[in-house]
Structure 1
Amino acid sequence: MGGRSRSPWRGLWWGLGLGVALVCLLVSSCSPERFQALRFKADVTAVPQIVDSVLSDPKTFNYALSQESPNVFGLIYEGLIGSNGLTGELEPALAETWSISPDQKTITFTLRPDLRWSDGEPLTVEDVVFTYNEIYFNEAIPTDTRDILRVGDDRLLPTVTAVGDRQIQVQVPSPFAPLLRNMGLPILPRHSLADSVRELDADGQPRFLSLWGTDTEPQTVVCNGAYTLADYKTSQRVVFQANPYYWRKDAQGQPLPYIDRFVWKVVESRDTQLLKFRSGDLDIAEPMRPEDFSLLKREEERGNFTVYVGGPRPGTVFLAFNLNQASRGGKPLVDPIKSAWFNTLAFRQAVAYGLDRQGIIDTVYRGLGAPINSPISVQSPYGLSPEEGLPVYSYDPDRARSLLLSAGFQYNDAGELLDSQGNRVRFTLITNAENSIRVNMGSRIQQDLAKLGMQVDFTPIAFNVLVDKLDDSLDWETHLLGFTGGVEPNSGSNIWQPDGGLHTFNQGKPDLEGWQVSDWEQEIGQLYIQAAQELDETQRKVLYGQTQIIAQEQLPFVQLVNELGMSAVRNPIQPIQYSDLSGALWNLYELTLNP
């Protein structure tokens, strides 16, 4: 969540690439017990490709409606600007240049000449204006993208207008520091989508809301990125084909990317992903699990691949409490007895002190992890450190018990934790079953909290079921998930704004009765607004520092541990420039297959 841009369900948007190569990647079949190296050989009848994997099927081919990560959109779309995968610095993309007015309220972009969509139609300033004004700014379209574009206390949206054949102006009512970086949002095709935005279905909703679902013929989805959707087989694979009209070329004028095809195999188990990589059926293992590091490191030479290890992955992993005290149809979303526990600060603090994060690093992460103390990624210049005053919760079960007792909880003769009314403290923890790291982490959390007398019913469930609970039914007690992250905190503002689409710990909905927002929630939301309007970088850091302090004091999320970024990639795929921000394939557009 957060993101990329990244929410746990939204990916990064910077572009990848197009082109034709003359060698073919062929996989030699073998069992893990009889490992064979991946073999490459020329075969003019085959298509050069890289084969990767994902844990679950894509949920939509409609970017505006996407809430999951990974998703297809970083491969098939680009925005006006991009971001360097190594440094995070902004770079030209569909716009070749831009200029910012002296009052910092207007950005003028100039599109590259002769841009085209994947169907050959011209990509023009009208597509940009349509994308922002009729999709992202359209209140009839429920897109989380809109949240990160709102400016000031009035939550006004920018004005996007065409001012020439290739020029677009983006204006805001007051200075808005994240504005330029937000212009990396994908540009969508007006000629394909305009009618569906304006026409209503039988329920009075824009027909756009049912367009480009995963039941769509993939070839009909019009793209502007390095790749297009070529094929999709549910629970099997997604095939991306090089976009013949992609704008990027190499220094010699040759179209990019060099690799014709990129394949995602849907492999719903990390264990199976490992087996398929070792047998040569996959060309990359990313993200690589800590428990696989030693095995794959030993097999580097035989397997003709390299293991890359970086720092902590961007983003967060956390335990969240459902603090929502509202009802729906007269029925409380959360059992009032449990809601009283979750909304007691001392209870949340006790849980934080009761979790052995170093134990999680040592066991679940095999030492290849790092503790998280802030909701802002460590790669961000706005992150606050403990040395700068960020509250932290080191493992201290005695302090946890003391906090519980001071809040009126008590222990019976069996060491079970009871509340002041004698109710046994027992609640459900959910996570996505497809992620073995989180499943193992959830088991550790269950064990740690059992030492405090709490009974945690740990229940891994399918990701799509989990998303429905968080976003629709709101039927959950605690969950273990993560938000993707980056360098700009405002990309995660919809997590912290009380009306934000990813304000999952206290999600507001129109049909709820008695929804309440706490003072500290309002304060964090207001600080995000102020920080986005502040142009002085030192003061922005101060404001975001305050948000982190409040979040750590109030603990809607108990920040846990993030794994070190690791990937294993076949050596013929070059040049790999591993990045803590973006992983191994951020420069896919310039990768080649060298036998």
Structure 2
Amino acid sequence: MVSLVVGLAGCSREPEVSREEAQLLREQRRSTLLQQTSYRPGPPEYRPGQPGGTFVATLTSDPKSFNDLTARDGDTRAIVNHLSDYLADYDVYRREFIPRMASFSVEVDHDQDKLRVFYTLRDDLYWTTPDSDPETWIPVTADDIVFWYDQVEGNPSLRLPGYPGQFVEMPDGSSARVTVEKIDTRRVVFTFPRIVANPILSTNMRVWPRHIFEPAKAEGGSEALLDVLSVDTDVTTIPSVGPYHIVEYTPGVRTVMKRNPAYWRRDEAGQRLPYIERLIYRIVPDENTAYLLFREGTKDSHSVRPEQLDELLRIGTRDFSIYRGGASLGASFFTFNQNPANINPQRHRWFMQREFRQAMSSLLNRPRIARQVYRSLASPAYHFFAPPNPFFDEDIRLEYTYDPERALELLAGIGITPGEDGLLYDDRGNHIEFTISLGAENTAGIDMANIFADELENVGITARVRPIDFQNLVERLTSTFDWEVVLVALGVNYWPESGSNVWQSSGNFHLWHPLQESPATEWEARVDYLYNEGRFTLDQERRKEIYDEFQRIILTELPLLYTVHPFSFFAIRDRWQNVFFDTLGGSDSMYYFLQGPPSAGGDMGSPNS
């Protein structure tokens, strides 16, 4: 009887597949999927269109504010970003700054080691509210820029991300501020106390309405600035200089935005942008609901996750196209708290050791994450700078890739070894264990954290995965510092000088140990030096030497363990024209227009739609 069961089991066993064969099958499957998508990268060549139609998108949570100062999560930013604009723009294809709300020029005085940047605002910029009379429109002026730079971003008590970037380190080690001065109604000048290599990056900023924020500060002080334009505000009173106004906010249901007829941008034919008349952001419980709405046809576009791609491509008759954009430029990362405030001293001792972080990187199975979380539609993150960064170097790569044996050797070198129970203990007898926190809405992140925890468990380390509310997570990272390990993401580092509040040890978003009065470690002191030296070095060969060392330090000390670069996919209804998509420029909805008459987009105007 036993032999019969064994024989039957043997007959039903699937043929064994080698690791190389499995990898080949995955690559073939990935190639098949990619071939079924469309590829239409930039730089885009837009056709003139006509205004009209309603575009339906989704948010997975209510906006937390309509104030740029407190808009930290992606759903809130999706709304707030439509209300303002930048002075300048960075053309990712030409790799240079171009005028946006203002033209600019740079004046360099080599003899005095001084530099000035002049901005001249356009003459057609206005703060407007929905359906307002043009006589009530308020011009955007130099006073808006000066107020926002000096009184808001330059306010040390607010600890805003842009604050550290207002200062430069002088040759004697002191710190001096970049100042701004009004020249006339439309012109300002930023004066640098020494020459920098990328002054537009340092001075480019969004502009927000002084006539709203200044009275609030005068009445309630700096903290009152954070309470302006809360979600309780009558949205029809919120001014915009951006492409849209907010015309409706129904909590838990939707946010509606209407085209701003005073927005300054125009197409080549002189037609004002954007073309889309109304944006409806339906508020849904989660990403799965958003996906289902797209599948059933009541949502116009969708950022397709890799696990959804196969299912969408199997739909026989489709009224939408799926575009592929390549591997994302950014990647989420794990980071270990090295701040002595509000963390268990023993864990702090582990996390401060470079070999510990190198071992953690050697236990982070990036290829497994790419396979299991992203269906092999992702690539491991082995570089620090993104490819568009002018100092990206393919040869400067992460050394500590997945290798459990090497991880155990690194840990043994700092006194962390297995006990009789197979668990890892430090030289004081403490079991190696910690908690990984991340945003509860980050479903892919939860999967990544669980894979990391599984790999850690395999060598005797206990990691607990704790999804929490995103605002709670932000508060822990920026205020209470009560966390152990976290999984988050930052923006793409297009320029080596970007992220002054992250890479400098004094920065308020130097996540692993922010706001240091002086560098806590020698390597952080060196990074501070290189960051500043690179900012002030004009010779390109020398700049490359500086930023090569900068990258190598980050990839050796590993304050951040980058995970993977997911492939980007974007699905959109075929009735929308002028669609380009890639990971460099994304897809600019400002130029979408309807293929048919404007009404073809559907109104979906009922609050219950």
Aligned partners of 2:67, 2:352: CA distance in 1, in Å?
Answer: 37
Verify the 8 A CA contact 1:85 1:579 in the aligned structure 2.
Answer: no
Q: Which residue of 1 aligns with 2:122?
A: 112
Report the secondary structure of 2:429's partner residue.
coil
In the alignment of these two chains, the number of paired residues is: 534
**1:20: how far off?**
10
Q: Which residue of 1 aligns with 2:534?
A: 531
Q: Which residue of 1 aligns with 2:593?
A: 592
Q: Are positions 1:373 and 2:382 aligned together?
A: yes
Selected match of 2:555 from 552, 555, 577: 552
Selected match of 1:500 from 497, 507, 510: 507
Q: Are positions 1:188 and 2:195 aligned together?
A: no
Q: Are positions 1:94 and 2:110 aligned together?
A: no
Verify the 8 A CA contact 2:493 2:499 in the aligned structure 1.
Answer: no
Q: Which residue of 1 aligns with 2:545?
A: 542
- Give 1:175-574 correspondences, 5 Å limit: 175-200=195-220, 205-286=222-303, 288-299=304-315, 302-326=317-341, 333-385=342-394, 387=395, 389-508=396-515, 517-574=520-577
Report the secondary structure of 1:483's partner residue.
coil
Verify the 8 A CA contact 1:384 1:548 in the aligned structure 2.
Answer: no
Deviates more, 1:477-486 or 1:135-144: 135-144
Report the secondary structure of 1:453's partner residue.
coil
Aligned partners of 1:73, 1:89: CA distance in 2, in Å?
Answer: 26
Report the secondary structure of 2:393's partner residue.
coil
Q: Which residue of 2 aligns with 1:164?
A: 184
Aligned partners of 1:183, 1:345: CA distance in 2, in Å?
Answer: 35
Selected match of 2:62 from 28, 51, 57: 57
Q: Residue type matched to 2:575 in 1?
A: P
Cα deviations across residues 50-86 of structure 1 (Å, max 9, x unaligned)? 1222333333322234433350333221122123365
Report the secondary structure of 1:415's partner residue.
coil
Aligned partners of 2:529, 2:74: CA distance in 1, in Å?
Answer: 27
Cα deviations across residues 292-320 of structure 1 (Å, max 9, x unaligned)? 11112233x62311111122212231111
Aligned partners of 1:22, 1:101: CA distance in 2, in Å?
Answer: 41
Verify the 8 A CA contact 2:51 2:275 in the aligned structure 1.
Answer: no
**1:259: how far off?**
0.8
Q: Which residue of 1 aligns with 2:43?
A: none
**1:110: how far off?**
2.1
Report the secondary structure of 2:435's partner residue.
strand
Aligned partners of 1:516, 1:92: CA distance in 2, in Å?
Answer: 37
- Bigger radius of gyration among the two: 2
Deviates more, 1:345-354 or 1:536-545: 536-545
Verify the 8 A CA contact 2:335 2:485 in the aligned structure 1.
Answer: yes
Verify the 8 A CA contact 1:284 1:568 in the aligned structure 2.
Answer: yes
Aligned partners of 1:481, 1:20: CA distance in 2, in Å?
Answer: 39
Q: Residue type matched to 2:595 in 1?
A: N
**1:456: how far off?**
0.8
Cα deviations across residues 351-404 of structure 1 (Å, max 9, x unaligned)? 11112111111111111111112343233222233x2x4442221111111111
The alpha-carbon distance between structure 1 residues 132 and 516, as it changes in their structure 2 partners (threshold 3 A), is: closer
Aligned partners of 1:186, 1:323: CA distance in 2, in Å?
Answer: 32
Report the secondary structure of 2:138's partner residue.
coil
Cα deviations across residues 197-248 of structure 1 (Å, max 9, x unaligned)? 33335xxx45323211222222222121111222223333222221121111
The percentage of counterpart residues that share the same residue type is: 29
Report the secondary structure of 1:209's partner residue.
helix
Aligned partners of 2:241, 2:61: CA distance in 1, in Å?
Answer: 24
The alpha-carbon distance between structure 1 residues 170 and 402, as it changes in their structure 2 partners (threshold 3 A), is: same
Verify the 8 A CA contact 1:320 1:558 in the aligned structure 2.
Answer: yes
Q: Residue type matched to 1:236 in 2?
A: V
After TM superposition, where is structure 1 displaced by more than 6 Å over at least 4 residues in a row?
none
Aligned partners of 1:206, 1:140: CA distance in 2, in Å?
Answer: 8
Structure 1: which 5+ residue stretches go unaligned? 1-16, 24-47, 327-332
Verify the 8 A CA contact 2:325 2:568 in the aligned structure 1.
Answer: yes
Aligned partners of 2:49, 2:470: CA distance in 1, in Å?
Answer: 36
RMSD: 2.4
Give the TM-score normalised by the residue count of structure 1.
Answer: 0.84
Report the secondary structure of 1:504's partner residue.
coil
**1:158: how far off?**
2.0
Cα deviations across residues 248-299 of structure 1 (Å, max 9, x unaligned)? 122332221111112222334222221111111221112x211111112233
Report the secondary structure of 2:127's partner residue.
coil
Report the secondary structure of 1:302's partner residue.
coil
- Give 1:11-30 correspondences, 5 Å limit: none
**1:139: how far off?**
2.6
Verify the 8 A CA contact 2:125 2:139 in the aligned structure 1.
Answer: yes
Q: Residue type matched to 2:593 in 1?
A: T
**1:532: how far off?**
1.7
Q: Residue type matched to 1:94 in 2?
A: M
Q: Which residue of 1 aligns with 2:38?
A: none
Verify the 8 A CA contact 2:502 2:509 in the aligned structure 1.
Answer: yes
Q: Residue type matched to 2:123 in 1?
A: P
Report the secondary structure of 1:503's partner residue.
coil
Verify the 8 A CA contact 1:88 1:487 in the aligned structure 2.
Answer: no
Report the secondary structure of 1:61's partner residue.
coil
Aligned partners of 2:218, 2:154: CA distance in 1, in Å?
Answer: 14
Verify the 8 A CA contact 2:242 2:263 in the aligned structure 1.
Answer: yes
Report the secondary structure of 2:497's partner residue.
helix
Verify the 8 A CA contact 2:385 2:391 in the aligned structure 1.
Answer: yes
Verify the 8 A CA contact 1:137 1:157 in the aligned structure 2.
Answer: no
Q: Residue type matched to 2:192 in 1?
A: V
Cα deviations across residues 401-438 of structure 1 (Å, max 9, x unaligned)? 11112221121233211111222211111111211111
Verify the 8 A CA contact 1:317 1:481 in the aligned structure 2.
Answer: yes
The alpha-carbon distance between structure 1 residues 440 and 499, as it changes in their structure 2 partners (threshold 3 A), is: same
Which protein is richer in helix relative to its size? 2
Verify the 8 A CA contact 1:565 1:583 in the aligned structure 2.
Answer: no
Aligned partners of 1:435, 1:128: CA distance in 2, in Å?
Answer: 36
Aligned partners of 1:297, 1:351: CA distance in 2, in Å?
Answer: 37
The alpha-carbon distance between structure 1 residues 509 and 554, as it changes in their structure 2 partners (threshold 3 A), is: closer
Aligned partners of 1:229, 1:426: CA distance in 2, in Å?
Answer: 47
The alpha-carbon distance between structure 1 residues 594 and 183, as it changes in their structure 2 partners (threshold 3 A), is: farther
